[in-house]
A and B are shown apart, each in its own frame.
Chain A
Amino acid sequence: MTSTFEAIGYHGTDKQYVTSILTSINFAYNKGDKFLGQGMYLWRDSYDRAYKWANKTKNFNNLSVIAFKIKCCKQNTLNFTSKSWNNEGELLELWKNNFSNLTFGEFLDEMIYNNNMSINLIIIIDLTDKLKIFYIEDNENRTNFALGDIQICLKNNDPIIMYGEI
């Protein structure tokens, strides 16, 4: 049984911010993000996605991408690509039934920063974009494959093994 989550993630930014990020990451950035709350956001396994996101969304002039190698134990990770990694389904139910006056990201930050829920890392499929579904035909069988971008939100330094500008 898997007891850790390991991944390479990429963060797109402007070159002027690289030194600052490599010196000290501001985990209060993105405070109020609807889905996962504040933290350092990465695209899993995709330099290209990080680069394009920074270009399209932030309109930076001089793009740069920072790669992160991360590792975190299961009990300190929320993995929303699964509903049973670390009680993700139950946590979602808790939010939905009691605290949907807040966004899910706001709720998570309340739990982590004000109610001692010890989570260092959160993983989710990007819900702001549609799934890319493509169809593989194999005689009588039809198989659909769905691709979704995986977002990683680092809540602190603990999961970071190494990181640097590419």
Chain B
Amino acid sequence: MTPNELINKFYTDKTYKNSLISKLATKQSKFSPSELSNHRKDMNSLYYDLLLDKISDEIYPYKKDVRLEEII
């Protein structure tokens, strides 16, 4: 199943959706609640910001005249 097929099935097939939710929504992550909470924040703030091209100068203070070698 492609991601597109899976997503469409989730939102159009109630039986499939309920089955998936009942299988996964109760699964225990191997990470602690605080690690999970931080992970969600990472995924929310960093990742959405990357995807939406909202790069803030506060993320990494730039230096003038910085050489490429210093970055890489």
Interfacial residues, chain A to chain B (CB-CB below 8 A):
32, 34, 46, 48, 75, 78, 80, 83, 86-92, 94, 96, 98-104, 106-107, 110-111, 114-119, 125, 127, 130-135, 137, 144, 146-148
Contact = CB atoms under 8 A, between A and B. Distances in A.
Contacts of B71: 132, 134, 147
Contacts of A86: 2-4
A interface: dominant SS: mixed
Given A92-B43, A101-B25, A144-B62, 19 more contacts: A32-B30, A34-B39, A87-B3, A87-B7, A96-B44, A99-B25, A100-B36, A102-B27, A111-B6, A115-B6, A125-B50, A127-B47, A127-B50, A130-B59, A130-B60, A131-B59, A132-B60, A134-B62, A134-B71
Contact of A100 (B3, B40, B60): B40
Interface of B: 1-4, 6-7, 10, 20-21, 23-31, 35-36, 39-40, 42-44, 46-47, 50-51, 55, 57, 59-60, 62-64, 66, 68, 71-72
Contacts of B42: 127
Interface secondary structure of B, over-half rule: helix
Contacts, number: 113
B64 to A, nearest CB: 7
Contact of A135 (B29, B46, B64): B64
B6 A117 contact: yes
